[in-house]
């Protein structure tokens, strides 16, 4: 087995490549530039290959040479700074057209299995009283989620050909080096900033980076994964206040939460043009990840608390540099 990983210098890609190398897996790591940004002191591995920008015109030939299995992580991620029109353009060009180009060339090159990292956003932004499952009707709400769903359907059309496809839908991914909203939450807890979220009653699924990498590996090697779509999570859902308390515990700090009417908070965020941001804090978005356990026999090797401790430890080390 020789595995091509796209997006190899990203948050998930770096962890997956390190895991596969440690396991002795033959690897090729695709990046956009010859020298990807790496932490200080780390060398660019010899198995990196540059493919340039991703679109419907990308030539993946050199990256695919001799590859039998592929994990596609590269893509445009949702960015709150982009306009709706720009988000639609980038998600269509990079995520949909770029992946379609890769899938066609991979099939022609004889790749046997294509693992696509989709997102919970392909299914929707909230779960309500019951967690989302693979059979839930998909209701993506932004261009990023819509693009992930479009790719899922495109890969589904390839079923029955010579290349097997597997789709993995993670919720929020956290771990060492996490950025964006989770990093902001770490900073708020670390600084002891009081947060008016004590009255929030929701349930959110998360997946620790080490668990996600383990699940990707299972999707690469398990014969039962062919043609399947899986949600993946840590297996323990938490409310936003409970997550803050557990981060605070891992930091050895108090959780500075106080109650405040949720409907007033929601109104305030909406008036400030930040309704989606508040939804990520207060709405439920839980997934049912029992299918991957039942079909692949996969179990997350790390608990939520272990993942949070690892994330906090790396965060603290980064603060001391």
Helical ranges in the chain per DSSP H: 11-22, 61-64, 84-90, 98-108, 143-157, 180-190, 209-221, 240-251, 262-271, 275-282, 290-296, 304-320
Q: Residue 179: count other Cβ atoms within 10 Å of its Cβ.
A: 8
CA atoms within 13 A on the CB side of 266: 10
DSSP state of 163: S
Report residue 169 as tokens: 């839908």
144 has catalytic annotation: yes
Say how far apart CA 286 and CA 237 lie, in whole Å: 7
| Through-space distance between the first and last CA atoms of the chain, rounded to whole angstroms | 39
Work out the angle at residue 145's Cα, subtended by the Cα atoms of residues 128 and 177, and round it to the nearest 5 degrees.
95
Report the C-alpha gap between 68 and 247 in whole angstroms. Answer: 40
Residue 18, sorted as left (phi over 0), alpha (psi -120 to 50) or beta, turns out to be alpha
- In the set 48, 144, 174, 208, the catalytic residue is 144
Classify each residue of 86-103 as buried b or exposed e, where b means 16 or more C-beta atoms within 10 Å of its C-beta. ebbebbbbbbbbbbbbbb
Task: Judge contact between 227 and 281, C-beta under 8 A.
Answer: no
Nearest one of 171, 204, 169 to 292, comparing CA atoms:
169
Catalytic residues: 144
């Amino acid at each position: 087995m020789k595995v091509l990983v796209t997006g190899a210098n990203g948050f998930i890609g770096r962890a997956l490549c390190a895991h596969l190398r440690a396991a002795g897996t033959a690897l090729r790591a695709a990046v956009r530039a010859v020298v990807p940004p790496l932490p200080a002191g780390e060398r660019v591995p010899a198995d990196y290959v540059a493919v340039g920008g991703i679109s419907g015109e990308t030539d993946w030939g050199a990256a695919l040479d001799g590859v039998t299995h592929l994990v596609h992580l590269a893509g445009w991620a949702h960015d709150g700074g982009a306009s709706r029109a720009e988000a639609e353009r980038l998600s269509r060009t990079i995520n949909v057209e770029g992946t379609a180009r890769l899938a066609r060339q991979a099939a022609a090159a004889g790749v046997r299995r294509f693992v696509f990292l989709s997102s919970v956003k392909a299914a929707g932004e909230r779960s309500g009283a019951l967690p989302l499952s693979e059979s839930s009707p998909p209701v993506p709400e932004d261009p990023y989620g819509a693009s992930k769903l479009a790719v899922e359907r495109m890969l589904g059309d390839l079923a029955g050909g010579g290349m097997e496809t597997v789709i993995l839908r993670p919720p929020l991914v956290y771990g060492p080096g996490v950025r964006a909203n989770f990093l902001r939450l770490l900073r708020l807890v670390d600084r002891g900033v009081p947060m008016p979220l004590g009255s929030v009653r929701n349930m959110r699924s998360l997946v620790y980076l080490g668990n996600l990498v383990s699940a990707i590996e299972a999707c690469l090697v398990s014969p039962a994964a062919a043609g399947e779509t899986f949600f993946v999570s840590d297996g323990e859902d938490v409310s936003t206040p409970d997550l803050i308390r557990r981060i605070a515990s891992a930091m050895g700090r108090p959780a500075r939460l106080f109650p405040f009417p949720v409907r007033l908070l929601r109104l305030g965020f909406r008036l400030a043009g930040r309704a989606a941001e508040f939804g990520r804090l207060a709405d439920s978005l839980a997934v049912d990840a029992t299918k991957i356990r039942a079909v692949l026999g996969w179990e997350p090797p790390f608990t939520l608390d272990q993942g949070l401790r690892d994330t906090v430890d790396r965060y603290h080390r980064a603060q001391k540099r």
